[in-house]
């Protein structure tokens, strides 16, 4: 079968790019070795956000762009993405002073611009203590509140795939791509006994991208650093709304109640992985670490035991690094285009759940595929 484009990887980015290309009139096939959304796109913190903590490292452009994507997703999928208040309790022992976090949430509002209809601010400690009885009061100096987007990552990815399918994309899950060959005319992708051909190949395999490039001999200018993150789950709601928490060593983590599933999610950790992505597992020490850190915020009667943890999962963040530069660890994305005659290979490095829309548009632009509107205007 011949397509205009073949996309490897049915995570949020692969599904989004496929939809964008289909909307621009391309015939697209998406291949995944697992299930739609079964990779990193179902192991995230489920936030549609600019990332308050990235302001500390001055990644203003990235935060502003992600906040614009947040706005777009709230409009596109209101049943899957909603704004929630996030509370930031600050204690005498907290590593960041109140003024610093206050500046952060105000800057966060400002970067969202006129799109930001929610205003952050201070909450009285009394009101907070009444509404959050499981959270300790001793040493509480101030409570801040800001707003951010919340979703369900796998459901969102599946919905994006559904929309892409409705626009004509074909999806094949649980396939083993055995071989990829390319010349000036295009690509031949072998799956079992079948060979699919196309002019464009998009490698959107998230944290697997380097392994995939090496396996099929595809060129790339970047590489990823694999940083895993664990979340733990407990039954019931530990708080009515999400909490932005800090460890003594300044790491940020979240406690996120999910009333629709009657559970609370806590995470995440950060560990650089050196081995293969498929070998990454939840470590007992990471579960214990999260229990310890969250217990520092809970009142005596509500502290968690190991037996309270109903589930734990680990995902691998695909962070972009320029080849040879191990220090370049931003969560921004890079599109890496390689051309051979008529054939185009596009590698997708990085990208958050939140930014898939702008990444997908930029991917189609990079491939030189015009929107149908542009084509019509030119005609
Ligand atoms: C712990 C954690 C928390 C996060 N929290 C957030 C958050 O709150 N908000 C946010 O916006 N982002 C968050 N992220 C980032 C976000 O989840 C990811 O960046 C994003 O989901 C990556 O999507 P992707 O499509 O690039 O990759 P993936 O979702 O991993 O998709 C890649 C796909 O490629 C497939 N694949 C691999 N090898 C092959 C092959 N050989 N052939 C065919 N298919 C193959 C895999 O099966 C997989 O389905 C978080 C990430 C982690 C790890």
Mean of all residue pLDDT scores within the chain:
94
Kindly state if the Cβ of 290 falls inside 6 Å of ligand 1.
no
Residue 326's pLDDT band (cuts 50, 70, 90)? very low
Q: Distance between CA atoms of 135 and 6, rounded to whole angstroms?
A: 50
Q: Which residue, of 322, 346, 368, is where some domain finishes?
A: 322
Q: Judge if pTM exceeds 0.75.
A: yes
92 class by beta-carbon count within 10 Å (0-12 exposed, 13-18 middle, 19+ buried): exposed
Q: CB of 80 within 8 A of CB of 155? A: yes
Q: Which of 140, 335, 160, 313 is nearest to 243 (CA)?
A: 140
46 within some domain: no
Given the CA of residue 229, which atom of ligand 1 is nearest to it?
1
Q: Do 335 and 315 fall into the same domain?
A: no
With residue 374 as reference, give the H or E element that holds it.
helix 372-378
> What is the best residue among 29, 30, 38, 41 to mutate for testing ligand 1's pocket, by most ligand atoms within 8 Å of CB?
41
What's the rounded Cα separation, in Å, for the pair 154 and 38? 7
- Of 335, 308, 309, the residue nearest 320 (C-alpha): 335
Q: Is 141 helix (H, G, I), strand (E, B) or coil?
A: strand
How much of the chain, in percent, has pLDDT values that exceed 90? 89
User: Tell me: the pLDDT tens digits for 244-278?
Assistant: 999 999 999 999 999 999 999 999 999 999 999 99
Residue that terminates a domain, selected from 282, 306, 322: 322
User: Which residue from 379, 134, 339, 368 is spatially nearest to 240, judged by alpha carbons?
Assistant: 134
Confidence of residue 330 (pLDDT cuts 50, 70, 90): low
Give the ligand 1 atom nearest the CA of 66. Answer: 11
If we measure between CA atoms, which residue out of 377, 378, 367 comes closest to residue 28?
A: 367
DSSP 8-state symbol, 253: E
50 lines ligand 1 (CB under 6 A): no
pLDDT at 322 over 80: no
Instruction: Assign 303 to helix, strand or coil.
Output: coil
From ligand 1's centre to the CA of 336, what distance in Å?
Answer: 18
- Judge whether 47 lies within some domain: no
For 22-45, the pLDDT digits (tens) are 999 999 999 999 999 999 999 999
Please indicate whether residue 39, judged by its CB atom, sits closer than 6 Å to ligand 1: yes
Give me ligand 1 centre to Cα 211, in Å. Answer: 14
Q: Is 70 exceeded by the pLDDT of residue 331?
A: no
If asked whether residues 141 and 185 sit together in one domain, one would say: no
Please say whether the beta carbons of 147 and 84 come within 8 A: yes
| Domain match, 234 and 248 both | yes
Query: Is residue 325 pLDDT above 60, yes or no?
Result: no
Same domain, yes or no: 166 and 142: no
106 domain residue, yes or no: yes
Judge whether 280 and 312 are in contact, CB under 8 Å: no
Q: Please name the residues in contact with 28: beta carbons below 8 A apart, sequence gap of 6 or more.
A: 3, 4, 5, 6, 7, 18, 21, 22, 164, 168, 169, 170
Q: Where are the beta strands (DSSP E) in the chain?
A: 2-8, 28-31, 47-48, 82-91, 121-123, 140-150, 170-172, 177-183, 186-191, 194-203, 222-235, 243-246, 252-258, 263-267, 271-273, 309-322, 334-340, 343-349
Quote the pLDDT of residue 139.
96
pLDDT tens digits for range 201-253: 999 999 999 999 999 999 999 999 999 999 999 999 999 999 999 999 999 99
CATH of the domain at 132: 3.30.9.10
Measure the CA–CA gap between 345 and 338, rounded to whole angstroms. Answer: 5
pLDDT one-digit tens code per residue, 12-22: 999 999 999 99
Per-residue pLDDT, 376: 76
Is there an atom of ligand 1 within 6 Å of 315 CB? yes
Condensed to tens digits (0 to 9), the pLDDT of residues 64-81 reads 999 999 999 999 999 999
The answer to whether 123 and 98 are in contact (CB under 8 A) is: no
Say if residue 141 is in the same domain as residue 242. yes
Residue 227 beta carbon below 6 angstroms from any ligand 1 atom: no
Q: Is residue 254 domain-shared with residue 347, that is, in the same domain?
A: no
Q: Report the C-alpha gap between 237 and 148 in whole angstroms.
A: 19
Q: Are residues 233 and 145 in the same domain?
A: yes
Among 51, 156, 317, residue to substitute to test ligand 1 (most atoms within 8 Å of Cβ):
317
Measured in Å, residue 357 CA sits from the centre of ligand 1 at: 14
Together in a domain, 238 and 334: no
Among 16, 32, 40, 359, say which to mutate for ligand 1: greatest number of ligand atoms within 8 Å of CB.
40
Question: Residue 374 — pLDDT band, cuts 50, 70, 90?
Answer: confident
CATH of the domain at 168: 3.50.50.60
Residue 379 has pLDDT above 80, yes or no: no
Q: Is residue 317 part of a domain?
A: yes
**Rounded to the nearest whole angstrom, what is the distance from the C-alpha of residue 231 to the centroid of ligand 1?**
15
Percent with pLDDT over 70 in the chain: 98
> Higher model confidence: residue 62 or residue 233?
233
Domain boundary among 305, 322, 339: 322
Kindly give the distance from the C-alpha atom of residue 157 to the centroid of ligand 1, in angstroms, as a whole number. Answer: 10
Q: Residue 248: which domain range?
A: 84-149+225-322
Instruction: Report the candidate in 43, 52, 41 with the shortest Cα–Cα distance to residue 15.
Output: 41
CB contact at 8 A, 258 and 265: yes
Q: How many domains is the chain partitioned into structurally? A: 2
244 located within any domain: yes
- Reported as a single tens digit per residue, the pLDDT across 147-171 is 999 999 999 999 999 999 999 999 9
63 Cα–ligand 1 center, Å: 19
User: Same domain for 105 and 141?
Assistant: yes
Q: How far apart are CA 12 and CA 306, in angstroms?
A: 32
Q: Say whether both 240 and 347 belong to one domain.
A: no
Query: 201 in ligand 1 pocket by Cβ < 6 Å?
Result: no
Q: Please, which residues bridge with residue 265 across strands?
A: 233, 256
In a domain, 164, yes or no: yes
Q: Is 13 in the pocket of ligand 1 (CB under 6 A)?
A: yes
C-beta 164 within 6 A of ligand 1: no
**Whether residue 179 sits in one domain with residue 124:** no
Same domain, 236 and 131: yes
Determine the atom of ligand 1 nearest the C-alpha atom of 269: 1
Q: How far is CA 176 from CA 78, 212, 221, 330, in A?
A: 35, 12, 25, 31
Q: Measured from the CB, is residue 24 less than 6 Å from ligand 1?
A: no
Q: What's the 363 CA to ligand 1 centre distance in angstroms?
A: 17
Tell me, yes or no, whether 62 lies in a domain: no
Instruction: Give pLDDT, residue 58.
Output: 86
Instruction: Check if the beta carbon of residue 306 is closer than 8 Å to that of residue 261.
Output: no
φ, ψ of residue 286 to 5 degrees: the values are -75, -40
Q: How far is CA 258 from CA 22, 35, 124, 255, in A?
A: 34, 24, 24, 10
- The radius of gyration of the chain's CA atoms, rounded to the nearest angstrom, is 22
């Amino acid at each position: 079968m011949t397509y205009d484009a073949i996309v490897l990887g049915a995570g949020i980015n692969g599904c989004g790019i496929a939809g964008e290309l289909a909307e621009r009139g391309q015939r697209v096939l998406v291949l995944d070795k697992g299930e739609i959304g079964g990779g990193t796109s179902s192991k995230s913190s489920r936030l549609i956000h600019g990332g308050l903590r990235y302001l500390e490292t001055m990644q203003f452009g990235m935060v502003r762009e992600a906040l614009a994507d947040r706005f777009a997703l709230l409009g596109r999928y209101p049943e899957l993405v909603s704004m929630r208040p996030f509370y930031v309790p600050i204690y005498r022992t907290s590593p960041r002073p109140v003024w610093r976090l206050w500046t952060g949430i105000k800057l966060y509002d400002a970067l969202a611009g006129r799109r930001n209809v929610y205003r952050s601010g201070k909450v009285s400690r009394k009101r907070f203590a009444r509404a959050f009885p499981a959270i300790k009061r001793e040493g509480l100096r101030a409570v801040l509140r800001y707003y951010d987007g919340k979703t369900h990552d796998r459901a969102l990815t599946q919905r994006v795939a559904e929309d892409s399918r409705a626009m004509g994309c074909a999806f094949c899950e649980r396939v083993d791509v055995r071989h990829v060959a390319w010349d000036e005319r295009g690509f031949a992708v072998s799956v079992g006994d079948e060979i699919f051909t196309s002019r464009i190949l998009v490698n959107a395999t998230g944290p697997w991208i380097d392994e995939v490039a090496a396996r099929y001999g595809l060129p790339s200018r970047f590489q990823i650093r694999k940083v895993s993150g664990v979340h733990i789950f407990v039954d019931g709601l530990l708080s009515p709304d999400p909490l932005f928490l800090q460890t003594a060593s300044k790491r940020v983590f979240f406690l996120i109640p999910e009333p629709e599933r009657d559970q609370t999610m806590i995470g995440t950790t950060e560990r650089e992985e050196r081995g293969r992505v498929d070998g990454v597992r939840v470590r007992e020490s990471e579960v214990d670490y999260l229990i310890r850190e969250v217990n520092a915020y809970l009142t005596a009667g509500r502290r968690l035991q190991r037996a309270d943890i109903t589930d734990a999962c680990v995902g691998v963040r695909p962070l972009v690094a320029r080849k040879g530069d191990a220090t370049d660890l931003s969560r921004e994305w890079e599109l890496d285009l390689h051309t051979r005659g008529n054939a185009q290979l596009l590698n997708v490095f990085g990208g958050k759940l939140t930014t898939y829309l702008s990444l997908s548009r930029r991917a189609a632009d990079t491939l030189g595929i015009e929107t149908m509107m542009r084509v019509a205007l030119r005609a």
